[in-house]
Amino acid sequence: MVAVEKKPVSIIVCSNERLETNFPAAVKLFYTGPFVNAELLVLMLEKHGLAATQNFVDVTAPDDGDLNRPTQVFVPATDYDRAYQLFYAERADEL
């Protein structure tokens, strides 16, 4: 029996349908929280040239327009450190 290494798969969410692909996951989870915050975070990341994506935590739940619906924001693994520095690192110029 040959051992097969399991690799993470990319998950694409579109219109509440979940599609798993065989492409290796090249993104890292950056934030989990309310949809309203995630939406703003994605816009701010894009303003800094980072291609962020967001997915609902529970893709099977109906899209009822709830702004507090748990949402995850992902950034490319290669850009994770830059995104972290932009939004989570302490800044010397703040009071």
pLDDT in tens, 15-47: 444 444 444 459 999 999 999 999 999 999 999
How many CB atoms within 10 Å of residue 10? 14
What average pLDDT score do residues 44-59 get?
Answer: 93
Query: 93 falls in which pLDDT band (50, 70, 90)?
Result: low
* Calculated CA dihedral for residues 40, 46, 51, 55, nearest 10 degrees: 10
pLDDT given for residue 90 in this prediction: 78
Strand order in the sheet with 27-34: 27-34, 70-76, 53-56
Total-model pTM: 0.69
Q: What is the dotted CATH code of the domain comprising 26-87? A: 3.30.70
* Calculated CA dihedral for residues 35, 41, 47, 51, nearest 10 degrees: -80
Q: Is the pLDDT reported for residue 80 higher than 70?
A: yes
